[in-house]
């Protein structure tokens, strides 16, 4: 059966010998062990306890129990022939109170994970911040408090000094557009804040933290390969009317340009989105210099495209997304459009910035309804999604665009933030009652592809 999945036009060799293949995960979504061995409370621990915030009232107290099953899961990565494993460090596991005393049991856990990866011939790629801010800092304003630049830099220092001797590839911050937008503007993610003021503060402090963190990492691990990751969607206007075209440009500035441009020394895209001028009031002397860093690579995370139309009722951006379910297109469980050319378009878009050294796709994947039948999860839609997206990555590479690697999101089904356990993205199925793991057809295909 597996042989039938081999696509004559899609071979690992076509991507070249130096192309990096991997799989991505995040601490909060995987680890569980929410209050074991000295771990402190993060904003997501607190947010999941609030009524009505998470689908079905799910929480991540146990999640995939990676904290206890990391060897089993790393063995599965090895079995799937995946050479690179991206995971994140839980801030409150290593620093239960955000700063101050280091929790040695937390350090021991990540040392064990790193060492077991290396023992299995798997290269660890660490994301320092994947959304799980200590609640003690949120109580002081979280990302709206400028102090966060110092708090975050200390966290980076702890990670770099404990793991930098073995970990060579680092991502400073994951998807700042999502945790600032969903967490501090729309309030649908932790910490659940709403409003433009907190959003603009969070944006600016995230940029400063990204750079301060990268500089600290460079100082402690001089030979490290340092990157940071951005969520990006391919954006198209709903019609060829000028107002829709301009609305799409504004949405693009918010979704794709807001964080990459300042770190490249281009400043915030205030031309398209004048409300960003509010950041000028927040800025302090020296900030412009402290917003720039020469990253070794940029991680792009793409899942779909968005169609945008003008909307005078939407404050600040005057644009709205035309929902995929209203467009008669194929949808994932997340109600996102299945549109593989999106990944080609974002690679092309980010290649237009002259001074990015390397580009990795650090997340790409899909959630579909999966069912376990006679020990098999035959997820043909996800398998097709992966093949079609890789075909687009190959197209970009063949046309001479910079793209240096590809990481699937994600290893196992996990806690999918506000969607709880409803949306399954894994190459490996998890029965959350028993924690049984079953490799899906998509996982077997990826393993064969990487062999």
Q: Which residues are marked as active site?
A: 175, 363
Instruction: Give helix 148-163 / helix 104-119 axis angle, nearest 10°.
Output: 50
CA distance 176 to 301: 12
Q: Are 130 and 159 in contact (CB under 8 A)?
A: no
Angstrom CA distances, 317 to 68, 133, 250, 251, 253, stand at 45, 27, 6, 7, 9
Most distant CA pair in the chain: distance in Å?
64
Helix, strand, coil percentages in the chain from 3-state DSSP, rounded to 5 = 40, 15, 40
Give the residues across from 299 on adjacent strands: 229, 360
Q: Is the peptide bond before 44 cis (omega within 30 degrees of 0)?
A: no
Q: How far is CA 59 from CA 54, 181, 416, 436, in A?
A: 7, 22, 10, 19
CA atoms within 13 A on the CB side of 246: 11
Peptide bond into 295 cis (omega under 30): no
Tally of CB atoms within 10 A around 5: 18
Residue 142 CA to residue 139 CA, distance in Å, equals 7
What tokens were used for 7?
């696509």
Tokens of 163: 């793991």
| Sign, Cα dihedral of 347, 233, 25, 426 | negative
Tell me the two tokens of residue 406: 């590809």
Question: What is d(CA 117, CA 77) in angstroms, rounded to the nearest whole number?
Answer: 9
> How large is the C-alpha radius of gyration of the chain?
21
> Residue holding tokens 């009317």?
241
Angle at the Cα of 389 from the Cα atoms of 377 and 300, rounded to 5 degrees: 110
């Amino acid at each position: 059966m597996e042989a039938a999945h081999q696509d004559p036009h899609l071979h690992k060799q076509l991507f070249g010998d130096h192309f990096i293949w991997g799989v991505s995960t995040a601490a909060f979504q995987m680890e569980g062990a929410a209050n074991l061995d000295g771990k402190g409370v993060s904003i997501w621990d607190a947010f999941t306890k609030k009524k009505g915030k998470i689908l079905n009232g799910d929480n991540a107290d146990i999640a995939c129990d990676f904290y206890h099953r990391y060897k089993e899961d790393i063995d599965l990565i090895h079995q799937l022939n995946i050479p690179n494993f991206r995971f994140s460090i839980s801030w409150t596991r290593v620093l239960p109170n955000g700063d101050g005393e280091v929790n040695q049991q937390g350090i021991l856990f990540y040392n064990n994970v790193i060492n077991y990866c290396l023992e299995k011939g798997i290269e660890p790629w660490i994301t320092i911040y994947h959304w799980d801010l200590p609640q003690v800092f949120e109580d002081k304003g979280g990302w709206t408090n400028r102090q966060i630049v110092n708090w975050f830099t200390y966290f980076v220092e702890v990670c770099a000094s404990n793991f930098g001797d073995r970990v060579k590839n680092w991502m400073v911050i994951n998807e700042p557009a999502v945790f600032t937008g969903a967490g501090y503007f729309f309030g649908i993610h932790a910490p659940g804040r709403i409003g433009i003021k907190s959003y603009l503060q969070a944006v600016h402090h995230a940029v400063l933290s990204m750079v301060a963190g990268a500089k600290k990492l460079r100082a402690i691990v001089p030979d490290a390969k340092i990157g940071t990751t951005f969520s990006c969607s391919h954006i198209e206007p709903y019609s060829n009317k000028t107002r829709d075209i301009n609305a799409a440009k504004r949405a693009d500035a918010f979704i794709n340009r807001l964080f990459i441009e300042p770190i490249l020394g281009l400043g915030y895209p205030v031309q398209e989105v004048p409300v960003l001028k509010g950041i000028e009031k927040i800025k302090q002397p020296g900030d412009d210099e402290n917003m720039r860093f020469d990253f070794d690579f940029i991680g792009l995370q793409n899942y779909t495209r968005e169609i945008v139309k003008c909307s005078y009722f939407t404050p600040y951006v005057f644009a709205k997304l035309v929902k995929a379910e209203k467009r008669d297109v194929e949808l994932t469980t997340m109600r996102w459009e299945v549109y593989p050319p999106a990944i080609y378009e974002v690679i092309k878009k980010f290649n237009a910035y002259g001074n990015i050294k390397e580009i990795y796709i650090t997340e790409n994947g899909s959630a579909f309804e999966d069912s376990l039948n006679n020990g098999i999860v035959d997820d043909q839609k996800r398998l097709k999604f992966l093949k079609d997206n890789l075909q687009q990555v190959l197209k970009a590479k063949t046309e001479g665009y910079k793209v240096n690697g590809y990481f699937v999101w994600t290893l196992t089904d996990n806690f999918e933030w506000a969607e709880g356990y409803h949306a399954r993205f894994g190459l490996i199925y998890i029965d959350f009652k028993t924690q049984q793991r079953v490799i899906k057809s998509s996982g077997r295909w990826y393993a064969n592809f990487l062999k």
